[in-house]
Amino acid sequence: MKSIKITNTGGPEVLKLEDITLEKPGADEVQIEHVSIGLNYIDTYHRSGLYPLQLPTGIGMEAAGIIKEVGSNVLNFSVGDKIAYAAAPLGAYSTHRNYTSKNIVKVPDDIDLEKISSAMTKGMTTFYLLHKTYVPKKDETVLFHAAAGGVGQFFCQWAKSLGLKVIGTVGSDEKVEIAKKYGCDEVINYSKEDFAKKVLELTNDKGVSVVYDGVGKTTYDRSIQCLKLRGTMVSFGNASGPLDPIIVSQSLQPKGIYFVRPAMNQYFTNSEEIQEAADMLFKQISSGNVKIEIFKKYRLEDVVQAHKDLEGRKITGPAVIIP
């Protein structure tokens, strides 16, 4: 049994592979043998210290696998069940782990464990962004940044299935076609073009009613420019760095903007909320509305490279670690 541990925060090199032994699972836990582990940008925030953790710690939010043992209080799961999860406590980067049964869901037989391991965080995030945080109406135009990335591919396909018009941004020309393939109606290369100007052009100067912004520091000001009067700014990530302090009188007040900074732990506080999101995700996958193509498979030994690729903007789609 092996697990990635960090004892210091820093660059990708702080990720260390260790041999582990596991106790029997606690009364409310199950012991899982991971089949596949999802790679997420948030893992880099945990590793770098942007989101502080108590050290030493495991790392990784999501995985899928098979239950090998159940704790004495666990009644709704059995040995051999195919399960997946996307929640703290961290430690998904491992071959095996003991994990709380309240955060896991059973995976339907028609859904592949490798694919679902890449989808729990990205898909459940998409679910809450579109069905809870700001719920766009059919035909509404929305803007999503980093549309060719992991969450981007889930979000854009899901948004299309709801009848929305999706404008996506990407950082290179080669990502334009990828974003289109996964559901964007219009794609702007924001490394070359002023995306706010282009969004206003595309919307006849009206702007969009909502921006879903996981890029953060470098896109905030222009995202606000893209919004309609009383539009909603959903700032759900910081791939380019955390936001500078917001000057309310300058960025929110002129158009009466609603600003929200959501995270998964506010939307998935109990098993019912997790199951609701997972059921919607499974339905979107089984119906073909959301297609998952694994972009790359890393070995547990290669997580340093995986983090370099994430931060180097080289990942175009869901990537997994095979333990």
Ligand X SMILES: NC(=O)c1ccc[n+]([C@@H]2O[C@H](COP(=O)([O-])OP(=O)(O)OC[C@H]3O[C@@H](n4cnc5c(N)ncnc54)[C@H](OP(=O)(O)O)[C@@H]3O)[C@@H](O)[C@H]2O)c1
Q: Please give the residue ranges that form the binding site for ligand X (CB under 6 A).
A: 40-42, 121-122, 125, 146, 148-152, 170-172, 175, 214-215, 218, 236-240, 262-264, 311, 313, 315
Q: For residue 99, give the nearest of 36, 43, 46, 22 by alpha carbon.
A: 22
Smaller CB distance to ligand X: residue 66 or 260? Answer: 260
Instruction: Report d(CA 118, CA 295) in Å as an integer.
Output: 10
Instruction: Give SS3 for 5.
Output: strand
Write down the least CB distance from residue 279 to ligand X, Å: 19
Cβ–Cβ under 8 Å, residues 34 and 97: yes
Instruction: Report d(CA 107, CA 15) in Å as an integer.
Output: 29
Cβ–Cβ under 8 Å, residues 92 and 61: yes
Q: Residue 279: which residues within 8 A CB-CB, separation 6 or more?
A: none
Write down the least CB distance from residue 75 to ligand X, Å: 30
Smaller CB distance to ligand X: residue 41 or 134? Answer: 41
Write down the least CB distance from residue 235 to ligand X, Å: 9
Smaller CB distance to ligand X: residue 122 or 198? Answer: 122
Cβ–Cβ under 8 Å, residues 71 and 29: yes
Write down the least CB distance from residue 38 to ligand X, Å: 9
Cβ–Cβ under 8 Å, residues 140 and 167: no
Smaller CB distance to ligand X: residue 31 or 295? Answer: 295
Write down the least CB distance from residue 236 to ligand X, Å: 4
Smaller CB distance to ligand X: residue 148 or 167? Answer: 148
